Structures are given as C-alpha cells and as structure tokens.
Amino acid sequence: MVVSCYYALTTLSTVGYGDYYPISNHERFVAVIVMLGGVAFFSYIMGNFIEIITNYEKKMGNVDLSGDLHNWLILLTRFTNNINLSKSLTDDIEDHFNYYWA
C-alpha cells in the first residue's frame, strides 16, 4: 500500500524519481507526507495568487487598450518604410486583440 501510494504521488505530483529515493517503507511514507505537503503548499500559494489577480481585476475594471493598439499600429508603419498595413491585416490584428483583451 505504501509503495503504490509513493509511486502514484511521485508521478502525479511531477516530483520525479531522481537520484535519491526512499528504500524502506518508512522512508516512502515520509516521502509521501512531504509530497502531499508540497502539493498542499503549492495549491495554497496559487489560490492566493489567483485571488490577488481576481481582486485586482475587480478593482481596476476593464482598461481600454485600443488606443495603445492604434499607436502600436502607427509605430509599425515606421518599420515598413511608411507603407500602411493592408486593411485586412489591420482588421485581423484588431480582431485578435479584441478577442484576447476584451
């Protein structure tokens, strides 16, 4: 039972088997406890991080970045020897922008 839990947790937690590994069942049990603690700690930290990001988005609201996109497209014409981008390419860029940032 301890061996199967050890191998299952080692695989699922992506710790890997490495150069040093437990030999006895007591060592495997300790390794299982450490891996469970690591997964719990990582989950706690990531949960807090996601909560911070969510609260930040709620407080800041939606920020309109379309002006920045327009300025970037104008700046891009400098690199094309002042030749404007085609209308279809500009529309595609704006559509992708609106999809990901809307």
Domain residue extents for the chain:
2-60, 66-101
pTM (two decimals)? 0.50
Q: CA–CA separation, 34 vs 51, rounded Å?
A: 26
Q: What is the pLDDT of residue 38?
A: 87
Query: Tens digit of pLDDT for each residue in 28-64?
Result: 888 889 888 988 999 999 999 999 988 887 787 766 6
Amino acid letter, 80: T
Query: Tens digit of pLDDT for each residue in 60-88?
Result: 776 667 778 778 877 877 777 777 778 88
Q: CA–CA separation, 75 vs 65, rounded Å?
A: 15
